[in-house]
Amino acid sequence: MIAPWNKMYRYNVREQPREETMDVLDKNGLSVNVDVTVRFNPVYNRIGDLHEVFGTEFVNTLVVPEVRSSVRQVMGRYTAEEIYSTKRNEVESSIIEETAIILKANNIDMRALLIRSINLPAEIKGAIENKLTREQEALSMTYINERERLEADRKVIEAKGIADYNRIVSASLTTNILKLRGIEATNKLAESANAKVVVIGSGKDGLPLILGGNN
């Protein structure tokens, strides 16, 4: 039973979402429109403390103001380009960290905070996207140039190997070795079923002469 002079308040201690849309300024004073979602729940065994300080409207008097404040403070340390593209994950992580600390100190567990969208003025967004496209094209060209350089190096090494091989082989092919190879070839032709006539003698280079035909 509840005494007549007491009043009961109900608190939802389950995880609950809150969506916020706000305009913030980047470090250069450019306006950035941001949509965020925060998921949180009160610490159930600290409801008394939460109620004493913020009351039943703690979402509007604590959660929302602190989320908006953290988003503004963090994004104010970055440029629009960093917020929109190059450091978006870093920005989101900083907002999560700073918001969670503040809410935890006031008996709120923040489960998640997500940046749903970041909207810039059309001309700024277009300029950033064009810059990113040019950077990607430059990286692609650098990759192509490096690949072609490596292929050229490979061909130089391959050509050097072939030249070295030919030089070694040429140095080893003396007149006597050539005559021996000619004799071996003549003997193989003589053993062939298709050999008609084999004439052993010396040609201009001192190698055997072979005359023959196929059936």
pLDDT tens across 51-91, in order? 999 999 999 999 999 999 999 999 999 988 888 888 889 99
| Contact present, 40 and 50 (Cβ < 8 Å) | no
> Cα 194–196–198 angle (5° rounding)?
115
**125 pLDDT above the threshold of 70:** no
pLDDT for res 215: 47
Q: Return the higher-pLDDT residue of 4 and 38.
A: 38
DSSP 1-27: ---TT--------S-EEEEEEEEEE-T
pLDDT for res 5: 60
Count of residues in the chain: 215
Closest CA to 202 of 215, 185, 183, 188: 183
pLDDT averaged over every residue in the chain: 80
pLDDT for res 176: 64
pLDDT for res 205: 54
DSSP-derived secondary structure letter, 28: T
The whole-angstrom separation of Cα 202 and Cα 214 is 23
pLDDT for res 164: 80
**178 pLDDT above the threshold of 90:** no
pLDDT for res 115: 92
**118 pLDDT above the threshold of 60:** yes
The whole-angstrom separation of Cα 78 and Cα 28 is 8
The whole-angstrom separation of Cα 165 and Cα 177 is 18
| Per-residue pLDDT band at 155 (split at 50, 70, 90) | confident
pLDDT single digits (tens) 14-36: 999 999 999 998 888 888 899 99
Threshold 0.75, pTM exceeds: no
**7 pLDDT above the threshold of 80:** no
